[in-house]
Structure formats: structure tokens, C-alpha cells
Amino acid sequence: MPLRTSISDRGAILLGNSVACDAFDETRPLRVVTHAHADHLVGLRRSLKSCEKVLMTKATKDLIEVLKGPRTFNLGTTEQLEYGKSIEYNNEQITLIKANHILGAAQVLVENKKGNRVAYTGDFKNRTKPIEDCDTLVVEATYGIPSFKRSFNLDISELLVSMIEKRLRTGNVYVFGYYGKLQEVMQILRSAHVHVPFVMPERILEVSEVCKRHGMNLGDLTLSSDNNGKELLEKNLPCVAFYHMNKRKSIGIESSRICVSGWEFRLPCKQIGRKEHLVALSDHSDFEELIEYIRRSKPKKVITDNYRVKHGDVLAKEIHKRLGIPARAMPNRNCKQLTSFF
């Protein structure tokens, strides 16, 4: 009998008999957190209170401590798992495998002694090594419809560096994005020898310090509330200011502004305001890259995640059509019989 696999109505990816990934499930003694983005931390407090253990990488734990507060993990027991290392629980082996997404992101593989294998990709972008030959693979579906295909074949990093360098000649540049993506931009700039000060509010600085401790090259960071940071921003001196996307409407209105987002497929860069551009830097695979992962992974069956975005249905149909692999979206809001398919 293959290991059971499904996605609950509340977004928990259930692998085998014991594991729930990325949302709370009262029937499972183990919770895995694949990475520190909010839509993968669903019900974390309840999991900490009621599960035997909550598993994640050290980097993910460090990021969550910054984002959710240092006492978050006092509620329960956690175990840090390195990539490629396994733990045994109730005759099943659980392994975290690196996903190319944000710092600490992992795919999850559950196997039993009979050689049955089920896995969940978590969020991932291209150059993530596929988990091969699973009985059932659960795959993220963020860009799960065929039109979500990037039509440009251009090095976004180079474009981003040249745009920012050009704007630094006349003063500061504000970059808006989500946690993880902002730190990726910092690393891209430092790797391209952009040495101007990086200015940011406290939360983003704390997240960035975690990224530095885990090996990312972000250089020196300046707090926007420090005298030095205030002066750089108020006098429009050359520096890059990093802010969360939700501050876009209220901060740096008169400055040069760049928003980094994967939700653009036609152009690598487009103007969205007077001095504001969107750059299509994504931390998710586009539609073609999702299909390519599954092609290389060669699973017997696929479940697409229809909880975090609503493209799971389309992706499942396309997987079946293009690869001949049985696939369905879960949870299926049109169908009450969620568990009977596989």
C-alpha cells in the first residue's frame, strides 16, 4: 500500500501516517515547516502546543523567531533538521531536501521500509533538484496556469543591478519586496560590488542578520532610525533603502523606487509609477518550470496545492494532459469527498 497523501481543508499537506506540513492538523504528531513565509506557518502555535515535535531547518527556525517573536517556540518542542539528514518516526523516515526559494526552504520526503515514497515540494524556483520516483508528489501551484510563463530570457540580476546603479547616481533608491526576496536583492547587489549603504527598518535588518549568519553576503546594514540612516534618506544621499511591500504606498514617495515581484510575465521590467518600476524577480517556478520539475521527478501521481492559490485545478489538468501523469488539486472546494481520489 502506498503511503497516504492529501491536503486538508485547512491547508495541511499530509504525508504518510504522521506528518502534516505547513498547517496544523490534529491527527498528526509531527508538523514540518517548509519555510518561513506566512502562508506556510498556518496554525503554528496550535502545532507547537499539540504536536510531539515541529521540524524545520535551523535557518527557518531563526527566521520565524525574528518574524513571530523570540518566545514563539517556548510553546512546544522543535527539532532542527539539516538538509539530507533524516529522522525515523513510527516506521517512516522523514527527510528535508533543499528547495531554491528563500533561506532555509525545504522539500519534504517521507519513505517507509517497503520503499514507498511520498513528497512535497514546498515553494520552489528553478534550479531546485527534483525529488524523484515518488508514489505521490505534492506540488506547489503558485504559477500553475499556462499563461504564467515568463516570456523573457534575460538575467534579471544584471538588469536589477544596472537599474539601481543608474538611479544611485542621482540619490537614493527604495526597493520594496517580501522577506527573503529583499535579502536576495541585497546579495545580488553586494555580489555585483555595489557598496553604498543599505538602509532598512528594524524587522528587515533582523531578518537580514539571520541571513548573514547563515552565509549570505549582505555587507554592512544601517538602521533607518539611526542618525546615519535618517541622514542618508532625508538628504537623498546614495544608498539603497529596503522596505516591505506593504510600505509601498507610504514610504519614499518622491524617490526612485523598485518593486521586486514575480507577478509579471510579459516584461522583465515595467514602469508602474512616475519614478517607480516593477522588476520581475521571482522566487517561484513559472508554469513551464513547474511542468519541467514534474517531468524530471517522474512521480506516479501528483496532487497540486489548491489551498494557497487557486490554480491547482488548472495545473492538475495540464500535468495530466502534457505528461500523462494522474493529477488532481486538493482541497477541492467543489467536492465534499476529498480523500477518496488516491
Binding site for Zn ion (CB under 5 A): 37, 123
Residue number with CB closer to Zn ion (13 or 161): 13
Cell numbers for 211:
541571513
Least Cβ distance, residue 283 to Zn ion (angstroms): 7
Q: How far is the CB of 267 from Zn ion (least distance, A)?
A: 23
The smaller minimum CB distance to Zn ion, of residues 185 and 325, is found at 185
Name which of 174 and 179 has its Cβ closer to Zn ion.
179
Q: Write down the least CB distance from residue 140 to Zn ion, Å.
A: 8
Running DSSP on this structure, what letter comes out for residue 23?
B
Which CB sits closer to Zn ion, 37 or 311? 37
Q: How far is the CB of 220 from Zn ion (least distance, A)?
A: 27
Give CA–CA dist 326/27, Å, rounded: 27
In terms of CB distance, is 35 or 167 closer to Zn ion?
A: 35
Find out whether 99 and 106 touch, Cβ atoms under 8 Å. Answer: yes
Of 237 and 309, nearer to Zn ion (C-beta) is 309
Q: Which residues pair with 79 in a beta bridge?
A: 55
Structure letter (DSSP) for residue 42: B
Would you give the distance in Å from CA 141 to the centre of its chain? Answer: 12
- Identify the bridge partners of residue 106 per DSSP, sorted by sequence position: 98
Long-range contacts made by residues 22-27, C-beta under 8 angstroms, separation at least 24?
A: 22/122, 23/307, 24/50, 26/50
**Residue 21 C-beta: closest distance to Zn ion, Å:** 13
Nearer to Zn ion, 37 or 301 (CB): 37
Task: Give the cell for residue 249.
Answer: 504606498
Partners of 17 in the β-ladder: none
Q: Which residues are within 8 A (CB) of 154 and not within 5 positions of it... i.e. 6 or more apart?
A: 268
**Minimal distance in Å, beta carbon 35 to Zn ion?**
6
Long-range contacts of 19-23 (CB under 8 A, 24+ apart): 19/89, 19/92, 19/94, 19/108, 19/110, 20/47, 20/51, 21/108, 21/120, 21/122, 22/122, 23/307
For residue 141, the minimal CB distance to Zn ion (Å) is: 12
Residue 60 CB neighbours (<10 A): 29
Quote the distance between the C-alpha of residue 221 and its chain's center.
23
138's grid cell = 505534492
The span from the CA of 14 to the CA of 30, in Å, is 10
Nearer to Zn ion, 40 or 301 (CB): 40
Cβ 123 to Zn ion shortest distance, Å = 4
Paired with 197 in beta bridges are none
